[in-house]
Each structure stands twice: as C-alpha cells, then as structure tokens.
Amino acid sequence: MNYLQDLVHLFFPKICITCESKLLQSEKIICTLCRHDLPIICYKDYKDNKITKAFYGRIPIEKASSFLFYRKEGKTKDLIHALKYKGNQEVGVFIGDWLGNILKDSNEFADIDCIIPVPLHPKKLKKRGYNQLTTFGLSLSKHLEKPYLEDVLIRTSASKTQTFKQRFERFSNNDTKFSVPNSSTLKNKHILLIDDVITTGATLESCCKELLIAENSKISIVTMAYTE
C-alpha cells in the first residue's frame, strides 16, 4: 500500500498552496517553510483583545478569536481563496485542526454549547456546492467536542461577495438578512459563531442580532482570519 502511495506521490505530487513547491508526503496543504511563515495571531486574552473590541458598542459578545492575520497579499489570502473559490476543503480541516487544538488547550471555550456557521444563501450554496465553513466547523466540533449546527441560522437574502466592495460599503451594508426559524433551540445556549474572515464585522453583527433573540443566549466568535 505504501508502495502505491509512493508511486502516486511521485507522478502526481501535491503542491503547496502558497509557494507552489512540491509537498513532502508528511506535509499537508502547505510546505513546512510556509507553515512556519504564517501570520498567526497570538492573543492570549480572549475577552480583551483587538478582535473582541471590534464589536464594542455594536453587539454584546463574550469573547473572540481569529487564527491568522489577513492581508491584501500573502499566505493567508492564498489559503482562504483556495478554500472559498477553488474547492479545496482540506484547508478548512487544516485550519480547524490547528486552531481547534489551540482553543481546546486554552480551555477558554469549554463552556460553549454549540458551533454555528455564518450561512450562505441557498442560491450561492447551490452555485458553489459547499459552505466554505463546513470542514472548518466540523474540525472545531471534533476538538471542542461540541455539536456543529449548520441549519439553525438561515440567510434570507443574497448579497454580493464582500471581497470586491469598498470598506465603507461593507460596513454600511444592511441588505444581508438572517433568521433563526426555531430560536427556542438556542435558549440558554452559549453559541460559538464562526466565519472565514472578519473585515468590518458587519456580517457577524447581523448574525449575532438574530441569534440573541433566543432567550438567555450568549455568543462568542471564532474566525479563520482577521483583516489588519
């Protein structure tokens, strides 16, 4: 079996997403050099950090964390784009496993009750074929040992991709709507809301407002990346 795997790797080598060099068999998604060069966010305080403060005065959240800094160019952008637009869902597993271990070791999210992703509109989900957050969320669910609930929060209006909008337009966009058809399922729950990238936080804010309709619910946020 190993012999066959060696042959497959020889003739069909996997390529590093960020530098396009050939990966060793022990490497996944990115090479070791690029892995060590990732702009990992090292906030130790989950309740009082730049990400949590971005929501002050907008929506009450318990704590927040992101894994990587997102820049206009760089390795984080390469990873997110491979996941979001090129169908490479292994990226979600890669980030989810790495971040999941960090969050579990910190014990900061031990009291959450469930993990809920920012949803795609059904039309976009059908076109893309997957929610880029699914593999990420399932990996976090495995490490944190909490259920991943994909159909609780629903997007009820389609919106253009945030990537190509000006920052002010994204912040002031109120067109995207969400709903929780059965908010009683979230009563007394501490929800971990997840997304890929925080830019202005407007989408997450809209999601939180709907989730907080549930009686005595509270929210923490975790994302793959945070825009500097």
**In this predicted model, what pLDDT tens digit does every residue of 8-26 receive, in sequence order?**
444 457 999 999 999 998 8
What's the CA gap between 121 and 131, in Å, rounded? Answer: 10
pTM for this entry = 0.88
- pLDDT of residue 1 exceeding 90, the answer is no
What was the pLDDT predicted at 168? 46
CA distances (Å), 134 to each of 104, 123, 149, 175, 228, in order? 19, 17, 10, 24, 25
**In this predicted model, what pLDDT tens digit does every residue of 27-57 receive, in sequence order?**
999 999 999 999 999 998 999 999 999 999 9
**In this predicted model, what pLDDT tens digit does every residue of 85-139 receive, in sequence order?**
999 999 999 999 999 999 999 999 999 999 999 999 999 999 999 999 999 999 9
Give the single-character DSSP code of 44: S
Strands 154-155 and 178-179: antiparallel
- pLDDT of residue 221 exceeding 90, the answer is yes
- pLDDT of residue 154 exceeding 90, the answer is yes
Structure tokens at 26: 């022990």
Question: Domains of the chain by range and CATH?
Answer: 38-152+176-227 (3.40.50.2020)
Strands 114-117 and 190-198: parallel
Q: What share of the chain is helix, strand, coil (3-state, %, to 5)?
A: 40, 15, 45
What was the pLDDT predicted at 10? 47
What was the pLDDT predicted at 174? 52
Nearest to 87 by CA among 118, 139, 130, 124: 130
- pLDDT of residue 204 exceeding 80, the answer is yes
What was the pLDDT predicted at 25? 87
- Sheet of 218-227, strand order: 64-70, 218-227, 190-198, 114-117
What was the pLDDT predicted at 170? 44
Residue pair 89/83 in contact (Cβ under 8 Å)? The answer is yes
